[in-house]
Structure 1
Amino acid sequence: MEGSTLSSNCATSGTYEGYVDRELFLNIYDLTPMNAYSIWFGFGIFHTGIEVYGMEYGFGAHDYSISGVFEVEPRSCPGFIYRCSISLGHLSMSASEFREFIETMASDYHGDTYHLISKNCNHFTDDICQRLTGRRIPGWVNRLAKLGSLFSCLLPDSLEATTVKQMPEYHTYDDDDDDDGSDSGSNASSQDASQSDEVDQKVLLSPTPAPEIAFIKGISR
C-alpha cells in the first residue's frame, strides 16, 4: 500500500562524520492530526522546512510585501506537529555562502505572496532542494497543492494560509570573518526599525506564544 511506502520513506537519516553541519535535511510536519490516518491512503497535509548548519528555514504567510522566509530551531516550527526528517545530501558551500544564498531566496518569497496551491512552504523547500542538489523533494509531500489546483473549492478555510505567528522582525547575521560587522549591524538596525514602522507593530495572524522565529532579510543580486 502507498501509505506504507510513505511511512518507510519518511525516516530520519543519520549523519556522516565530518559532514554533520553540511547535511541537508527536509523536516516534515503535520498540519493536522488527521494525517495519522490519511497518510495510509497516500495523502496528507504537510509543512516542510530545510535544515542545515544547525538551523531550519521555512516560508510562511503574512500580510506584508517583505520576506516571509524565516529560521527557527530545527524540528520545532511553531504551529505544526513534527513528523520526521529526510536527508537530501550534503552541501559544498560554506555557512556564509549558504547565508547569502538563503537571503537571495528570501527576496523572491514575500509573506504576502504565499498561496496554499501555487506558492506554499513546500514549493519553497522544493525550490531550495533543486537549486542545491538538482533533485526535488518527494512528490507526496506537496500532493495537497496538486489536488487543490483541481479541487480548491473543497479546501477548508482554515488551510487557506500558513502563519508563522510572529511579527516580521529581521535577524542580523554576523559573519565571524567580516571586519565591518559593527557598521553593517548598525545599518541593519536602522532598516529593521523602518520595517517595524511599515508593519505598524502588528502581529501577523495570531498572538499565540511560540518558539523564537527570526525572519531572513531578502537581498537581490
Structure 2
Amino acid sequence: MLCRIIARKKKTGTVPVYLNVYDLTPINGYAYWVGLGVYHSGVQVHGVEYAFGAHEHSTTGIFEVEPRKCPGFTFRKSILIGRTDFGLREVRSFIEKLATEYTGNSYNLITRNCNHFCNDLCLRLTSKPIPSWVNRLARLGTIPYF
C-alpha cells in the first residue's frame, strides 16, 4: 500500500502586491513579443505604487505615484507577485529604511535600476521575485564580451 502525502499550502498574506510594468520606448510594442524590451516598474501595495529613479543627490530615489500612472512612461501591465501581511504603516516604515539604500545618485541602468529595486521590495514583502523578462536587458548588459 502506498502512502499519499498531501502537501499543505503555506499560508499567504491578505494584501496583494502587484508589479506595474511600463514601456520606456515605443519599440517595446514589438520587442515585448520576442522577449526583449526596456521597462520601468513599480510595486503597488495598499493602493500606492513605489518606484525608484535617478537624480544627482544623495537623498532617496524612491518615490510614490498613483498606481499604473507613472509620469513619463506608458503602462503595459500589472502582475500579481504575491500577498503580504504587512500593514500600511509597516510598508511605509520599510520603505523609509530602504530610502537610505536606494539614493538617487546610486541609480545605475545596468546594476541598480528601478527593476532591481522592485525585485528587492517584492522579495521582502512576498518572498517572490519579479519576472525575469522585466529586467532582462540589464542582465544582458552585465555579460562580459570577449
Please report the TM-score for the alignment, with normalisation by the length of structure 1. Answer: 0.58
SS at match of 2:96: helix
Aligned pairs for 1:119-198 (under 5 A) are 119-150=112-143
SS at match of 2:115: helix
> Greater RCO between the two (CA within 8 Å, min separation 6)?
2
Within 1, Cα distance between the matches of 2:33 and 2:47?
31
Aligned pairs for 1:108-123 (under 5 A) are 108-123=101-116
Number of the residue aligned with 2:93: 100
Number of the residue aligned with 1:24: 17
Residue 150 of structure 1 deviates from its aligned partner by 3.1
SS at match of 1:115: coil
1:84-135 Cα deviation digits (max 9, x unpaired): 1001122101111111011111110000000000000000000011111111
Number of the residue aligned with 1:63: 56
Number of the residue aligned with 2:68: 75
AA aligned opposite 1:72: V
Residue 23 of structure 1 deviates from its aligned partner by 1.2
| Uncovered stretches (5+) of structure 2, i.e. residues with no partner | 1-13
Aligned residues: 132
1:44 aligns with 2:30: no
Within 1, Cα distance between the matches of 2:28 and 2:109?
17
AA aligned opposite 1:79: G
Moved more, 91-100 or 60-69: 91-100
Which aligned segments of 4 or more residues in structure 1 are displaced greater than 3 angstroms? none
Within 1, Cα distance between the matches of 2:127 and 2:90?
18
Contact 2:69 2:75 (8 Å CA) reproduced: yes
Q: Which has the higher helix share?
A: 1
| Uncovered stretches (5+) of structure 1, i.e. residues with no partner | 1-18, 153-221
Number of the residue aligned with 2:7: none
Please report the TM-score for the alignment, with normalisation by the length of structure 2. Answer: 0.87
SS at match of 2:111: coil
